Structure 1
Amino acid sequence: MSGNGKHDSWSAGRSYDHYMGRWSRLIAREFVSWLNAPLDADWADIGCGTGALTETILDMAKPKSVVGLDLSEGFVMHAREAITDERARFEVGSAQDLPLPDNTIDVSTSALALNFVPDKLQALAELRRITRPGGTISFYVWDYPGGGMGFIDAFWKAAASIDPAAEDLDEALRFPFCTPEGLQTLCTEAQLPGASIHALEVDTVFPGFEEFWHPFTLGAGPAPGYCMNLTEEKRDELKAKLRDQLDTGGEIRLPARAFAVRYQQP
């Protein structure tokens, strides 16, 4: 698989929230509902980003506590400002070396982040380490290979049609393990036998083409990072290509699908 992440810009919390956060919140609600975790649990949200999943846990799961960790200081700062619930705290930390004690978490989870972790097996070993016996290990990733993040899939296909080099940046090629079969293999290798896998689906809805295009100009995330590194001429060409494909003069509705994994610690 390609590890090409040169446009993975994660520092601008507000910009990334506008690009992906609103859709992350929709899928997070589907995930928390499906997970059906016990009340009054201690949670860890690994790769918490701007706090979309943490916010949903606080709203829906009635946790005792939630600790959110992310490598991006900008994301952590954004989450601290946006979420002031006393049950939550946010820290800068690596998924591969979690600053949490052994056997202290009831529900360890990761939302839409595991694909960006270089050593996934180490990250899942860390989730096993921090999770109490009988606790739950869980995570979910976008279905990039299946075009399950429709607006991103449309962007990269249009980009590749005018710049063949863009194909190597497409998450569909970079993250081929984000399928039920790939996730099952990963879980087996990570000593999570019998983990259950479930598809989560929502729609991403944009009032019009300009609302679809604007988040790609904010620079936060792989596709926006690529977009804003183009020359103005090339960026205008890409915008025109997408407009031809998607603009019908009204609402643009595209699918969003993720695959979720749940495993109960022995």
Structure 2
Amino acid sequence: MTSADKAFAGSIPALYDRHLGPMLFAPYAADLVRRLGAAERVLETAAGTGIVTRALAGALPDAAITATDLNQPMLDLAAQRLDSPRVAWRPANALDLPFEDDGFDAVVCQFGVMFFPDKSAAFAEARRVLKPGGRFLFNAWDRLAENDIAATVHEAVAAFFPDDPPGFMPRAPHGYHDVERIRDDLRAGGFERVEVETVALPGRAPSAADPAIGFCQGSPLRHEIEARDAARLDEVTERVTDAVARRFGSGPIEGRLQAHVVLATA
């Protein structure tokens, strides 16, 4: 994991939200919220552009939600998308949460734990702020090969830079797929009761351009492309669009998503 893997700034948050949100994150947001059940006080870590936050606010009309992220530009966009007196947006590091012990019924994190540099420390913080019996609910992408749209993007970008292929996709978002490692890290963080389910869902987008733009220009993969040849970012994006269209079609596309969904109880 590099510092660039966690850099979501500039135009990245808006492109991420527009092109990747509906395809990758909305389906699993609905899945997480369905599993959560009732809660009065909910903390979300790595809230990003607020896709799960909006789902939580809709499903839990009486809950107080505190949504946090380390990246202020992501939070700024999230706050524009959802203005509610029940939702507080706060910058916070998941490894050092600025909240009291035993303060939340649930902690929720969608596709953020992969980016935590010390996962067991982050899990210990989630455990600390949960009330006894509280739930820590999160998901993490399965291996890249089980996510065929993302794999196609990665292969196309690697083919464009054969001498120095970017490694962001397998290293960061798809780099925390070992279920036993997840269980071990949770135990190290103080959780003994852990349930893991591997969930496959369809990922749909209006066109092949959406994942191409979303990954190449709306994720930290962009930094790796620009580090190799910033002038060719649009060319790489077009090459990836063509690769996705060859595999999934030139109209609306559908591919396989797969992730581990984890429930740990305090």
Instruction: Give the TM bin, normalised by the shorter chain.
Output: 0.7 to 0.9
The aligned residue for residue 14 of structure 2 is 14
Superposed displacement of residue 163, structure 1? 1.7
Distance of 2:170 and 2:210 partners within structure 1: 24
Matched letter for residue 93 of structure 2: S
Map of 1:38 onto structure 2: 38
Distance in 1 (alpha carbons) for counterparts of 2:218 and 2:112:
15
Tell me the secondary structure at the aligned position of residue 147 of structure 1. helix
Indicate the residue corresponding to 1:257 in structure 2: 258
Q: 1:238: how far off?
A: 6.3
Post-superposition Cα deviations, 1:111-142, rounded to whole Å, max 9, x if no partner, equal 11111111111111110110011111121112
Corresponding residue number in structure 2 for 1:176: 175
Residues 56/166 of structure 1: CA separation in 2 closer, same or farther (3 Å cut): farther
Q: Would the alpha carbon gap of residues 111 and 160 (structure 1) be closer, same or farther in structure 2, given more than 3 Å must change? A: same
Structure 1 unaligned spans of 5+: none
Residue 236 of structure 1 aligns with which residue? 235
Checking the alignment, whether the CA contact within 8 Å between 1:114 and 1:141 is kept in structure 2 is: yes
Q: In the alignment, is the contact (CA less than 8 A) between 1:179 and 1:259 conserved in 2?
A: no
- CA shift, 1:65, in A, is 0.5
Q: Please say which of residues 64-73 and 251-260 is displaced more in the overlay.
A: 251-260
The percent identity for this pair of structures is: 17
Aligned residues: 259
CA contact (8 A) 2:196 2:262 kept: yes
Q: Tell me which stretches of 4 or more aligned residues in structure 1 moved more than 6 Å.
A: none
Residues 44-96 of structure 1: CA distance to partner in whole angstroms, max 9, x if unpaired? 00011111111111112344210011111111111112111211110111111
Correspondent of 1:153 among 151, 154, 171: 151
Q: Are positions 1:87 and 2:86 aligned together?
A: yes
Distance 1:21 1:244 in 2: 21
Q: Which runs of 5+ in 2 are unaligned?
A: none
Q: 1:135-176: per-residue Cα shift (whole Å, max 9, x none)? A: 111211122x24344322211112222324654523324453
What is the root-mean-square deviation of aligned Cα atoms in Å?
2.4
- Quick one: structure 1 residues 142 and 165, their matched pair in 2 at CA, closer, same or farther if it must change by over 3 Å? farther
